[in-house]
Amino acid sequence: AAQAERGAGSAIAQEEDDDFLREYMRRRMEEMMAQINARPHFGQLVRLEDGQAFLDAVDKEKSGVTVIVHIYAQGIPGCEAMNGCLQCLAGEYPQVKFCIVEASAAGMSRHFERKGVPALLVYKNGSLIGNFVRLTDEFGDDFFALDVESFLVEHGFLPDQSLVPTVRQPAIADDDDDDDR
């Protein structure tokens, strides 16, 4: 009888521990979600109309935000493809600010307009941390968002989403009873 009482007491203590841990995990998840929601969210491609808008997009952004700017020119192979790729990536990485600016509007030389685009400049905390010109040498004239995403992940400018764990519901909500009979 004493052993049964100890077993019941142990089960109650275990249940209280489980309840405490579930509540702790719920509160911690709320804290983390609040931190995520406090960060800037973009989610779309930002068109910069001139050099001043370009400077403002980089220099006036909150610290810690990655800003990726595509410098393009009309009629140059690869520029239209890059704009489409960045439009897709902007939706997938809303915490990253993706921008486009026409080379002539940004004050680039005619030579750069013809030979240097498509170009990607990557900034963080107002500093240039990545500079890639004539990306058609890397990708060819036609490429996909997955190609650009892999390139940016490989260079450390985008987080590798395959490494981000999925958030799971508590085991109680799990339909799988782990009983393999």
Return the higher-pLDDT residue of 33 and 23. 23
CA–CA gap between residue 145 and residue 92 (Å, rounded)? 10
Torsion of CA 33, 36, 40, 41, to 10 degrees: -70
pLDDT at 164: 57
Residue 72 has pLDDT above 90, yes or no: yes
Q: Would you call 136 helix, strand, or coil by DSSP?
A: helix
Task: Provide φ and ψ at 17, rounded to 5°.
Answer: -60, -45
Give the rounded percent of residues in the chain with a pLDDT score beyond 90: 62
The DSSP H or E segment spanning 78 is: none
Angle between helices 145-154 and 79-92 (to 10 degrees): 70
pLDDT in tens, 75-93: 998 999 999 999 999 999 9
Global pTM reads: 0.71
Q: Give residue 172's pLDDT.
A: 47
CA-only gyration radius of the chain, Å: 25
Question: Within 13 A of 32's CA, how many CA atoms are on the CB side?
Answer: 7
